[in-house]
Structure 1
């Protein structure tokens, strides 16, 4: 998720490679601002004589469900992630790298920042338990702090697919994306068809297969983006196609079996998310000239560099820090307006700015984990492929379990162990000097 915009030697302004698509960086950063905003607005805290309660004020808005067709940005994030992934994979191949090199880089980039979060959460949750925090309140706090971790599991699954899917894309791009779409529909048919089965079993686990097909298809759209497919379509056709996606959403939700709210279609993912992501990328390309002018502004590039260079850190930590911010506000006995009231809405921009200030402050020391080099130390050999595959599986398990069961002190602890083990497995060893501190190496693009 990290940007490769680099600061210039003097003045702190970003230096941009001529071939780089800055609009992709802008989209990624805009998605980050949207994710933080939505998660902040979903926390409505009420304080009265009966105690503290938390609900989601957004669900009370009559237009919220339809608003998610535009505000649900995760499908678009997988598309731009696919663009970056194919670009990185092709660059690595030109340098003589293979699937093992790619996957090792991805594991290190994504897991090292996550280890710090899991360590913090494990210590915090066990400390709160020892301090006597009521179990039901702690469960709510822990669940909220781990909501965002589903993305790590889904993204790692998609990243593990990149070398294979890139080959399929080069050999048969349309058949590949058609097969993914067909599989996504089949999974939904079984899942929704068995939703009210007479045997009483939960059909939602069937939908987990769409973590491969839905998110994988959206990533594949990013491959088409990287190949310039959307550049060959006239602007009016892009807008018309986006309108067609939304018309299809109306049929699938209002006249079909899918929920209108695209956030409820996220875990496990459903086929309509593909239409949302496709509509978004079509609109991005339709307004591409405007976005290109925006990214030429110096202050926009600086914001893109600051946020993009620590995007994974911001994403991982923003929810725990938002919860901590509200906790501090409660301790200070600050006023909490009724959620969704006029005063509540008026106060949200102040909380949003405060949340970003806190996130950026905390990210300053933590971003080193995200930006640390993945290069092997001099004389080290790359781990065997089986170690890389096992490490990837170990890295997926902790966030996947959190996605399915919510975060708790126990799974934060064993999850930390698995994540550390994943990093250890993909760290190259110097023969006879396994624990020698690596010499500093030039950062290589991943």
Structure 2
């Protein structure tokens, strides 16, 4: 999630595909909307507090995820940014170790204050003995977006190798990654060992990121609108047999962790639709008001993504303290108040960003540490979100994650002072 400083806007406008900045912002805002619809904490029929997932209980939910699951598109856009960032980095004399170091820091630094916050809150409520069941549900929900950090760290670490493979044999690289996805899914569903599907972290998201490399090369630009529409239609059509007759969940959220083959089809279809929408999005991005909105959100995007669920829970908690302000989950009043909750949550996250967004900026970095230290730092950054993805957030993972992320940041910022590092893409 790269950022653009206000003083760099004018210079960058001529070099950036602003439609991708818009797509990135829309993806994250869509995630916020989805989570607002999936977090239901309020009075139940007997007056006691209940925690539910209202949207998932609706009959239309599975079908809606075919549109609302936009994380594949985020990895496509991330692939475009990674490819252009890597080219810029190497053109300036940078190497793979330095690239992985800076990309890891861009994720580890913003995650550190969040894990410190989780650790402090969960230790406090555990010692206070506050409703363990409700606290556990809230912690699991608040930590659910953290899978993205693990998946994105893997993708970023693979950029130097995958870009070389893309340059030498782009079709063969795609074919090999597709084969990996299929083989892992076959092994998982034939053995019944769900954990085997975790191997697809090495194939599904890097494959979708690869579509972003093709986007950066102009492959989608060279396709006619009819061709793009046909590819997108084929991608969505193939989801029917995969989810209807195959072993996959009809919900695109059900096949998220571990990731599965339908996400690949969804990612390719979304990439085609993004290119089809480019003329309209380009006209939107000619508006100064839209540019200001996108750059404002884009400069705080990691903060919005990481902190929106804790803020949703905090806003919900405040409404519970105000008589009559917390409608029963899934009630008509609950649904009608969701737009207001979205506005309040977004405003609160932007206010919070004034305190924590500085962790997104790398500032003055020191000379790249050795490859071993960078590898250890990357591993320290990867383990906490991966553990949360696999075992869900609790007090032990929050405390351990804060310690490991602090170690990652300290290791990756070692070295002798050198130039300031800015966003490559």
TM range (shorter): over 0.9
Verify: 1:328 aligned to 2:318, yes or no. yes
Deviation at 1:105, TM superposition (A): 0.3
- What do residues 85-133 of structure 1 show as CA deviations (whole Å, max 9, x unaligned)? 1111110000000011101101211111111111111111111122221
Q: How many Å separate the matches in 2 of 1:374 and 1:219? A: 29
Of 400, 416, 419, the match for 1:414: 400
Deviation at 1:277, TM superposition (A): 0.9
- What do residues 396-445 of structure 1 show as CA deviations (whole Å, max 9, x unaligned)? 00111111111111111111111111111111333xxxxxxx69x54423
Equivalent residue number for residue 122 of structure 1: 119
CA RMSD of aligned residues (A): 1.6
Residue correspondence of structure 1 range 30-45 to structure 2 within 5 A: 30-45=26-41
Equivalent residue number for residue 399 of structure 1: 385
Verify: 1:75 aligned to 2:72, yes or no. yes
Residue correspondence of structure 1 range 230-241 to structure 2 within 5 A: 230-241=220-231
Query: Residues 41 and 329 of structure 2 are in contact (CA less than 8 Å); yes or no, is this contact kept in structure 1?
Result: yes
Equivalent residue number for residue 364 of structure 1: 354
Query: Residues 76 and 277 of structure 1 are in contact (CA less than 8 Å); yes or no, is this contact kept in structure 2?
Result: yes
- List gaps (5 residues or longer) in structure 2: none
Q: How many Å separate the matches in 1 of 2:117 and 2:189? A: 38
Verify: 1:53 aligned to 2:50, yes or no. yes
Deviation at 1:368, TM superposition (A): 0.8
User: In the comparison of the two structures, how many residue pairs are matched?
Assistant: 423
Query: Residues 104 and 426 of structure 1 are in contact (CA less than 8 Å); yes or no, is this contact kept in structure 2?
Result: yes
Of 137, 141, 149, the match for 1:140: 137
* Higher relative helix content: 2
Deviation at 1:14, TM superposition (A): 6.2
Residue correspondence of structure 1 range 281-430 to structure 2 within 5 A: 281-373=271-363, 375-376=365-366, 381-430=367-416
Query: Residues 42 and 320 of structure 2 are in contact (CA less than 8 Å); yes or no, is this contact kept in structure 1?
Result: no
Query: Residues 177 and 217 of structure 1 are in contact (CA less than 8 Å); yes or no, is this contact kept in structure 2?
Result: yes
Distance 1:229 1:368, change over 3 A: same
Distance 1:234 1:386, change over 3 A: same
Q: TM-score, normalised by structure 1?
A: 0.92
Deviation at 1:15, TM superposition (A): 5.5
Q: TM-score, normalised by structure 2?
A: 0.96
Deviation at 1:22, TM superposition (A): 0.4
Query: Residues 109 and 374 of structure 1 are in contact (CA less than 8 Å); yes or no, is this contact kept in structure 2?
Result: no
Q: How many Å separate the matches in 1 of 2:81 and 2:258? A: 24
Of 193, 196, 212, the match for 1:206: 196
- What do residues 132-176 of structure 1 show as CA deviations (whole Å, max 9, x unaligned)? 212222211211111111110110011110000011000100000
Q: How many Å separate the matches in 1 of 2:362 and 2:378? A: 19
Q: Which runs of 4+ in 1 moved over 6 A?
A: none
Query: Residues 362 and 422 of structure 2 are in contact (CA less than 8 Å); yes or no, is this contact kept in structure 1?
Result: no
Query: Residues 377 and 412 of structure 2 are in contact (CA less than 8 Å); yes or no, is this contact kept in structure 1?
Result: yes
Verify: 1:96 aligned to 2:79, yes or no. no
